[in-house]
Amino acid sequence: MSAEPMIPAPLDNPVFGHIRETVDRLGVEAYVVGGFVRDYYLRRPSTDIDVVVVGDGVAVAEDLGRKLRAKVSIFKTFGTAMLRWQGTEVEFVGARRESYSHDSRKPQVEPGTLEDDQRRRDFTINAMAWSLNAATFGRLVDPFDGMYDLEECTIRTPCDPDITFSDDPLRMMRAIRFASQLGFDIYDETFEAIRRNRERISIVSRERIIVELNKIVASPVPSIGFELLELTGLLELIFPEMHRLSGVERRGSHAHKDNFKHTLKVLDNVALRSEDLWLRWAAVLHDIAKPLTKAYDPHIGWTFHQHEVVGSKMIPQIFRRMKLPMNEHMRFVQKLVFLHLRPIILSEDMVTDSAVRRLLFEAGDDVESLMTLCEADITSGIDAKVKRYMANFELVRRKMRDLEERDRIRNFQPPITGDIIMRTYDLSPCSIIGEIKDRIKNAILDGEIPNEYDAAYAMMQRLAEEFGLSEK
């Protein structure tokens, strides 16, 4: 057990002074524990204040609430209470010990000591506590050397990792998430325990798993998390489609790149450019169909024809199974997966106005996100090749800006609607209407006519003549 001689700065918050007075008056011990303590030493902002009371935590919260005239919410199922005061939220809980049955994450709970409570924590860096009693205010209580692990940038469990992960298998995901978020290493014994217990992840709900996986995707270097998921065997269990990207197949002199490693490079590249979670998911999934579309041609080697089309069709089922949202976020990822080759093709060929117009039309407001993904997708180790691609992408961007300013193509709706065609020629709904609309839309996208009502109306009249229609 180590001691901290100076009162940590976060305890200057007046709420801790009021807690000190309350627990001393009630004659109980209280400690700030967990993420709030950890993040102070990591110099990370934190608002997650958890107070453990050696005794009745709810009673302390209620007493403090009456004193401060503050709102207290009690959660009887969990034996916790939340106090809100002057913009600060503090959760109170009684110190407890836990035991688990083999087939459930829900523990049997009974009152315990502070060390019992610290022992049940997932990792040593989350088991550190500061005393809130007057005599020892601000003293660090660290029985499992969490401070040492912080300094060594190590994720380690307070007790036997096999017990820790078997009892609550979500902690395996949390270990990898913290490693990814903080750039820490997982202690060898802890890592091997994750490998041994990986099958236990099956008792954890997909809703809980995706929370941790999203935090990995959102971390500064998300490849760290995915590499650890793959190395531990968890990735195959929770995200088999991504696991199948791993590996290289050779035939003669032909070998394709490791699509798993490539995907992680693209993801890290996107992470350098954007914090958008769904753009990062598009990076994760942009090549997800390559294992399904892989074919070997003895003349040219390995091909993955139409992987962007097949991949876009896979997105809804992946989102549904993984409990990701089936809304505009899913549609955004699906669109980017479908279109992610389009700018690359443009950058390789002559960049025509028509091709750029069609890209603007299909990408709409997501065109900048698409370009970010495509630039991140250039992972070649040949500098000259990368420079050529990036220069061509810049040309595509300039053409986009020029055409958008001139033609207003992004999200455009053709000036001639089906209703106008039906009223002009006294038609009921039929295939001719769709044909006329499509030909006008394509003429605008190909630059044959401007994106203007008069030009579109004149073309409608010409097409109507072809179909033998006359105005009423």
Of 194-198, 271-275, 341-345, 461-465, the range with the lowest mean pLDDT is 341-345
Within 8 A by CB and 6+ apart from 127, the residues are 33, 34, 118, 119, 121, 142, 143, 144, 146, 158
**Span 144-163, average pLDDT:** 96
Give the tens place of pLDDT for each residue, 112-135: 889 988 998 999 999 999 999 999
Band of residue 2 on the pLDDT scale cut at 50, 70, 90: very low
pTM of the model: 0.84
**Span 410-425, average pLDDT:** 81
Identify any residues that bridge with 297 across adjacent strands, giving them in sequence order.
Answer: 301
Same topology, domains 9-144 and 153-238? Answer is no
Of 57-61, 84-88, 359-363, the range with the lowest mean pLDDT is 359-363
- H-assigned helices in 184-341: 188-197, 206-217, 222-232, 234-238, 240-243, 259-273, 277-285, 290-293, 307-322, 328-339
Residue 450, pLDDT score: 83
For the beta carbon of residue 441, count every other beta carbon within 10 angstroms: 18
**Span 351-374, average pLDDT:** 85
Domain layout of the chain by residue ranges = 9-144, 153-238, 287-407, 418-466
Tokens representing 420? 């106008």
**Span 66-89, average pLDDT:** 89
- Specify the amino acid at residue 75: F
Band of residue 103 on the pLDDT scale cut at 50, 70, 90: low
**Could you give the CA distance from residue 283 to residue 273 in angstroms, rounded to a whole number?**
12
Residue from 49, 192, 33 nearest 116 by CA = 33
**Fold held by 9-144:** Beta Polymerase; domain 2 (3.30.460)
CATH number of 153-238: 1.10.110.30
Q: Which residue has better confidence, 122 or 360?
A: 122
Residue 407, pLDDT score: 61
Identify any residues that bridge with 81 across adjacent strands, giving them in sequence order.
Answer: 74, 92
Band of residue 105 on the pLDDT scale cut at 50, 70, 90: low
Average pLDDT, the chain: 88
**Span 295-301, average pLDDT:** 81
Give the tens place of pLDDT for each residue, 252-283: 666 678 899 999 999 999 999 999 999 999 99
